[in-house]
């Protein structure tokens, strides 16, 4: 991992699934559709003044979305922020910053 860069992709953790659960409603709003399934599969992280999470999420069938979520530092007491979403992704699409 480069200093300031994103980590290599890894299997998503339970913590990252909880992050996905927390931003699901906003993701659906931004995508303009409801997702029956919303399962974190892969992730990358970037340490900033907080943490950026780039997460590949299975939303049903052959479809995935990529989420970019910012988690502020704990002392800031601010909520997670879904800063971006890419739709119409597939399992073999690289998980790259956007």
Give me the DSSP letters along 46-97.
EEESEEEEEEEEEEETTEEEEEEEEEE-GGG----EEEEEEEEE-TTS----
For 31, the token pair is 């995508």
Domains and CATH numbers, the chain: 10-89 (3.10.450)
Q: What is the pLDDT of residue 1?
A: 46
Give the pLDDT of the chain (98 residues) as one tens digit per residue: 455 799 999 999 999 999 999 999 999 999 999 999 999 999 999 999 999 999 999 999 999 999 999 999 999 999 999 999 999 999 999 999 99
CB of 20 closer than 8 Å to CB of 40:
yes
């Amino acid at each position: 991992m480069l200093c300031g860069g994103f980590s290599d992709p890894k299997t998503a953790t339970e913590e990252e699934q909880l992050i996905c659960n927390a931003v699901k409603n906003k993701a659906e709003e931004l995508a303009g559709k409801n997702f029956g399934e919303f399962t974190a599969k892969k992730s990358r992280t970037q340490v900033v003044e907080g943490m950026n999470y780039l997460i590949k999420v299975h939303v049903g069938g052959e479809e995935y979305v990529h989420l970019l979520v910012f988690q502020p530092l704990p002392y800031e007491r601010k909520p997670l922020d879904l800063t971006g979403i890419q739709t119409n992704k597939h399992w073999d699409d690289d998980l790259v910053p956007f």
